[in-house]
């Protein structure tokens, strides 16, 4: 997977995780698991690496307005 596509997907999941992760039927764990799969496919080694890449590329990662 291309890193820029991976970053976009990770940013979307992170936004949704913060907006809906604590609502019934949604799990923070499931978002983090999906992010791990996408991050590895995009060539990132850990959460810190991809979250730093999000910040460096202008993505807002948290907190999101409720």
Tell me if the pTM is above 0.85: no
Q: How far apart are CA 1 and CA 19, in angstroms?
A: 26
Tens-place pLDDT, residues 3-56: 999 999 999 998 888 777 667 777 778 888 999 999 999 999 999 999 999 999
**pLDDT confidence of 62, banded at 50, 70, 90?**
low
**Spatial CB neighbours of 56, under 8 Å, sequence gap ≥ 6:** none
pLDDT of residue 34: 93
pLDDT of residue 18: 79
Q: Where are the domains of the chain?
A: 3-56
The percent of the chain in helix, strand and coil, each rounded to the nearest 5, is: 65, 0, 35
Region of 34 please: left (phi>0), alpha (psi -120 to 50) or beta.
alpha
Over residues 50-66, the mean pLDDT reads 78
Q: How many CA atoms lie within 13 A of 44 on its CB side?
A: 22
pLDDT of residue 63: 60
């Amino acid at each position: 997977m291309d890193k820029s596509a991976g970053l976009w997907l990770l940013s979307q999941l992170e936004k949704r995780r913060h907006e809906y992760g604590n609502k019934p039927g949604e799990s923070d764990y499931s978002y983090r698991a999906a992010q791990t799969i996408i991050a590895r496919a995009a060539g990132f080694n850990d959460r810190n690496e991809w979250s730093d890449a999000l910040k460096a590329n202008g993505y807002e990662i948290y907190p999101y307005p409720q």
